[in-house]
Amino acid sequence: MVPDSAACHSCRSPQQGIPAIAMAFQPIVHLPSREIYAYEALVRGPQGQPAAWVFEQISPEGHYHFDQLCRVTAIRAAARLGLHKHGTTRLSINFLPNAVYEAATCLRTTLRTAQDAQFPLDRLLFEITEHESVTDEQHVRTIIETYRSHGFQTALDDYGAGHATAGLLLALRPDVVKIDMKLVRGIHEDHWREELIRHLTQFADRVGILLIAEGVESADEARCLLALGVTHMQGYYFAHPGFECLPTVPDETYAQATAQ
């Protein structure tokens, strides 16, 4: 453990300009079992303002403190809502990889917060967002390995869009890959999308990673994805993000998505 006296320019930088934030939570389901695999914490303003409103107020110099604030707020909010008492359901937190200057040092606050909230470390999943390009792939690999040593899992978010390319997947080798909604949208009517996802599921099975399809908006999309071997899904079809609450998924929603 790095001593608390350790510091760098990022953590010594002023915290002014970081707005107050809250969290919304959206379920990620395991469709075959009709259970919620995880809740993704999504940043919001204190009155529920959208994420874009929050990001507009963050300068590049504030990324470190913002990243730390999001982690702390997500864990505390999830614990307050009792997520840590939901069997094995995970909490998924987005993080900015370029804001983590040294993995072990930057984890101190996360570990302390999880301990104070009695939130099991092996139920934390950290998503590498595509909001910024990864400037140092080896650095992020080190972050992933450090997180694994503490029991965390890591996910590559929005795979197939923006900076989340096949090259980045091969370089980082995360535990989870979240398929971007652009590859999911209308998949039941698009042979090319079907074949692309089919090959991706085969790849995931062989290398041992978990796939999660994002942006699922219809029962038709969910049924097609399930037939292709994608068992974990997230999207408005199942539930919209709930501001400061943990939305549930109606039985009828599951039934329609698994109907033959």
Query: Cα–Cα distance between 54 and 57 in angstroms, integer?
Result: 6
Cα 129 from chain centre: 8
The conformation of residue 10, written as its DSSP 8-state character, comes to: H
- pLDDT, average across residues 99-125: 86
Residue extents of the structural domains in the chain: 20-258
71-85 pLDDT, tens per residue? 999 999 999 999 998
Q: Where are the alpha helices (DSSP H) in the chain?
A: 9-12, 51-55, 63-80, 103-106, 108-117, 137-149, 166-172, 181-184, 191-207, 219-227, 251-258
pLDDT for the residue numbered 9: 45
pLDDT above 50 (res 1)? no
CATH 3.20.20.450 for domain 20-258, yes or no, is: yes
Query: Cα–Cα distance between 7 and 77 in angstroms, integer?
Result: 27
Query: For residue 29, what pLDDT band results from cuts at 50, 70 and 90?
Result: very high
Q: What are residue 258's phi and psi, to 5 degrees?
A: -110, 5
**Sign, CA torsion 36/40/41/47:** negative
Angle at 12 between CA 152 and CA 53, to 5 degrees: 70
